[in-house]
């Protein structure tokens, strides 16, 4: 079994995932960069990993497809010799007003739950045997939407609430070998919100620190949970500028 430290970051072509991959690379982790559609951006993430002195591989996989997720984990282990950290960042949403219940079609629910909740579970399940061998850990990127019932749609909030519960359940089930934690950001300035700045501005009115999170803000907490906070498990760290106080 290799002694090098290895991290798999889902949805790491851009945004929070990219920043997390780069920050873990700076701490000496070999990185699996995962993408679903954005190959060029994933390649850029991988080059950023290598420029920081770490190894990288790029794997296309839709996290809602269990077989693809299992294959991605196995390729990671085959390439690097093990797995120490899984960061579940891949996610999707639909912007549907919370009062528009008819807008929450079966397709909307399936799209969101298949990626955000089932995809997170699939990755945790595939990675768990390897993480147990290395006493590794999982960091799930949740959202304050899953705590407060806010966000882009009710389905999105429900999916992130499920991720929070999944985090706590896995932390109990697999301690002490594997730690499992979550990060719950408020609005994050990524391409997701590029066309929805009105939502950001409205949220900032209720935010004591008066600014949204950046991908770097969220990545800092993810890396802290993954690589520093060795006595923390089953916790959800909120990073929302005080909005949910």
Tens digit of each residue's pLDDT (9 = 90 or more) over 201-245:
787 778 899 988 899 999 999 999 999 999 999 999 999 999 888
Q: Which pLDDT score is estimated for 86?
A: 99
For residues 187 and 119, the model is more confident at 119
Average pLDDT rounded to a whole number, residues 13-33: 98
pLDDT exceeds 60 at position 120: yes
Q: Give me the pLDDT at residue 163, please.
A: 98
Q: Go through the chain and tell me how many residues it has.
A: 245
**In the prediction, which pLDDT does 5 show?**
98
The per-residue pLDDT for range 83-99, each reduced to its tens digit, is 999 999 999 999 999 99
| Secondary-structure breakdown of the chain: helix, strand, coil percentages, each rounded to the nearest 5 | 50, 15, 35
Would you state the pLDDT for residue 176?
98
Q: CA 26 to CA 164: how far, in whole Å?
A: 28
How many Å from the N-terminal Cα to the C-terminal Cα in the chain?
45
Confidence (pLDDT) at 8: 99
**Domain boundaries 6-239, corresponding CATH code:** 3.40.50.720
The predicted model scores a pTM of: 0.95
Annotated catalytic residue 156: yes
For 151-201, the pLDDT digits (tens) are: 999 999 999 999 999 999 999 999 999 999 999 998 887 766 566 667 777
Out of 22, 80, 121, 156, the active site residue is 156
What mean pLDDT value characterizes the chain? 95
Work out the widest C-alpha separation in the chain, in whole angstroms. 53
Please state the rounded mean pLDDT for residues 9-33: 98
Q: Where are the domains of the chain?
A: 6-239
Mean pLDDT of 58-68: 98
pLDDT at residue 59, rounded to an integer: 98
Confidence check: pLDDT of 1 > 60: no
Torsional class of 46: left (φ above 0), alpha (ψ -120 to 50), beta (otherwise): alpha
| pLDDT above 70: residue 133 | yes
Contact between 234 and 168 under an 8 Å Cβ cutoff? The reply is yes
């Amino acid at each position: 079994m290799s002694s090098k430290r290895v991290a798999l970051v889902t949805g790491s072509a851009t945004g929070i995932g990219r920043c997390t991959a780069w920050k873990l690379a700076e701490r000496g982790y070999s990185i699996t960069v995962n993408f679903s559609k954005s190959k060029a951006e994933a390649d850029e993430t991988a080059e950023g990993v290598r420029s920081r002195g770490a190894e990288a591989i790029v794997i296309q996989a839709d996290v809602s497809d269990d077989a693809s997720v299992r294959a991605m984990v196995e390729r990671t282990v085959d390439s690097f010799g093990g797995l120490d950290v899984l960061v579940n960042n891949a996610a999707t949403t639909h912007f549907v007003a919370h009062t528009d219940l008819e807008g929450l079609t079966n397709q909307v629910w399936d799209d969101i739950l298949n990626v955000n909740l089932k995809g997170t579970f699939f990755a945790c399940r595939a990675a768990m045997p390897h993480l147990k061998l290395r006493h590794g850990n999982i960091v799930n990127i949740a959202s304050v939407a899953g705590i407060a019932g806010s966000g882009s749609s009710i389905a999105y909030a429900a999916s992130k609430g499920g991720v929070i519960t999944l985090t706590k359940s896995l932390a109990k089930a697999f301690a002490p070998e594997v730690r499992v934690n979550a990060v719950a950001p408020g609005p994050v300035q990524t391409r997701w919100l590029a066309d929805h700045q009105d939502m950001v501005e409205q949220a900032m009115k209720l935010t004591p620190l008066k600014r949204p999170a950046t991908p770097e803000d969220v990545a800092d907490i993810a890396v802290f949970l993954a690589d520093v906070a060795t006595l923390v498990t089953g916790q959800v760290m909120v990073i929302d500028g005080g909005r949910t106080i």
